Structure 1
Amino acid sequence: MTKTRPFLAAALLLAAGAAFAQAAAPVTAQLPWARPTVQGQRSGGVYVTLTASEPVTLVGAATPIAGTAEVHEMKLEGDVMRMRALERLELPAGKAVELKPGGNHLMLQELKAPLQAGTSIPLTLTFRTARGEQRQLALQVPVSATPPKELGAAAAAGAHKH
């Protein structure tokens, strides 16, 4: 019986690890990017298009390069553009939700260093499923002064409607 204890202990550890393993979020991220910041700038924005394969809610974001990361919305109220944090952002199944400049976006606050063009930053998004399960999606977000080409082309095409 003494010989089986190490095996039993290893099996229990593996089972416990599997129970706590978190399934990946049922979300795809397209064209993530962040704008560079200047020395002393304490916040920056991250933009991405998210598409969920089932209804989920974006409930959080985290990165080691900032003290906080939040979902923010920009909204015109009268003649004033206002920005505020959102507690959550619904992602309907199969519908692309664009986080973009001038609209909903991810705000990184209390930056620990400037965001430099040509680098990338780690970002983890946390979602809640309809069943209440938390799921995460890890991203590497390129830092660039301009949006990704595919996004830029789509924006330009939309801007020239006649």
Structure 2
Amino acid sequence: MSLLTVKNIRWLASSTLIVLLASCGQSPTKVSVDGAWVRTPLPSKTTTAAYVLIKNLTKDAITLTSADSETIGAIEFHKSETRDGRHRMVKLDSLEIPAKDTLKLEPGGLHLMLFRIKEVEEDRHVINFHAEGDLTFQATFEILDDAPE
């Protein structure tokens, strides 16, 4: 019985060491994501908008260069603006998150435009974000009719 116990202890120690060594190469968390949601598309439409708060936890600015998803055909960065009394959306090439600051994507302001959305079984989409310097992260966006309170 004691041999079995020693074997179990060795296995546990080896497994713990492997997990610790595997985590040594990972970089610390650079962003946090909160309040991610996608507006429910209108009936028979496959285009909508998504909103989220992305907090930059680093001492350097982060520039988001693209976003993609397995359940969304294309994702663009957009800004809503009013000029000469007319509302319009402007496509942006990138979004910058200043150091130690939060990027707020919200209705009437900066947002993600989602095109060719596929139907999903669960009420959510996972979106991958890509930034300069090979930084990538993902967020799960809940599908909602209205902004969460």
Larger Rg: 2
Q: Which has the higher strand share?
A: 2
Shorter-chain TM-score category?
Answer: 0.7 to 0.9
1:49 to 39, 46, 53: 53
For each residue in 1:95-147, what CA deviation from the matched residue of structure 2 results, as whole angstroms up to 9, or x when unmatched? 1111001110011112233x78x71111111111xxxx121111111111122
Shift of 1:38: 3.1
What amino acid is aligned across from residue 96 of structure 1 in structure 2?
A: T
- Per the alignment, residue 126 of structure 2 pairs with 122
In the alignment, structure 1 residue 87 sits paired with structure 2 residue 93: yes
Provide the residue aligned with 2:138 in structure 1.
138
Q: 1:112 to 1:135 in 2, by over 3 A?
A: same
> Do the aligned residues in 2 keep the contact of 1:59 with 1:88 (CA within 8 Å)?
yes
Rounded Cα–Cα distance in structure 2 between residues aligned with 1:101 and 1:119 = 20
Unaligned 5+ runs, structure 1: 1-17, 150-162
Calculate the TM-score normalised by the size of structure 2: 0.74
Distance 1:23 1:45, change over 3 A: farther
Match among 27, 34, 37 for residue 41 of structure 2: 37
SS of equivalent residue, structure 1 residue 148: coil
Q: Is the 8 A contact 2:75 2:113 kept in 1?
A: yes
Distance change >3 Å, CA 137–CA 27, structure 1 → 2:
same
Q: Percent identity?
A: 24
**Aligned equivalents of 1:45, 1:25: Cα separation in 2:** 26
Are 1:106 and 2:112 matched, yes or no?
yes
Whole-angstrom CA distance in 2 between matches of 1:98 and 1:122: 18
**Alpha carbons of structure 1 residues 22 and 94: separation in structure 2 relative to 1, 3 Å:** same
2:79 corresponds to: 73
Alignment TM-score, normalising by the size of structure 1: 0.69
CA distance in 1, matches of 2:125, 2:27: 22
Change (3 A) 1:76 1:139: same
Letter in 2 for 1:73: K
AA partner of residue 46 (structure 1): A
Query: What corresponds to 1:152 in structure 2?
Result: none
Aligned in 2, Cα 1:25/1:72: closer, same or farther, shift over 3 Å? Answer: farther
SS of residue matched to 1:143: strand
Decide whether aligned partners of structure 1 residues 67 and 25 sit closer, same or farther in structure 2, where only a CA change above 3 A counts.
Answer: farther
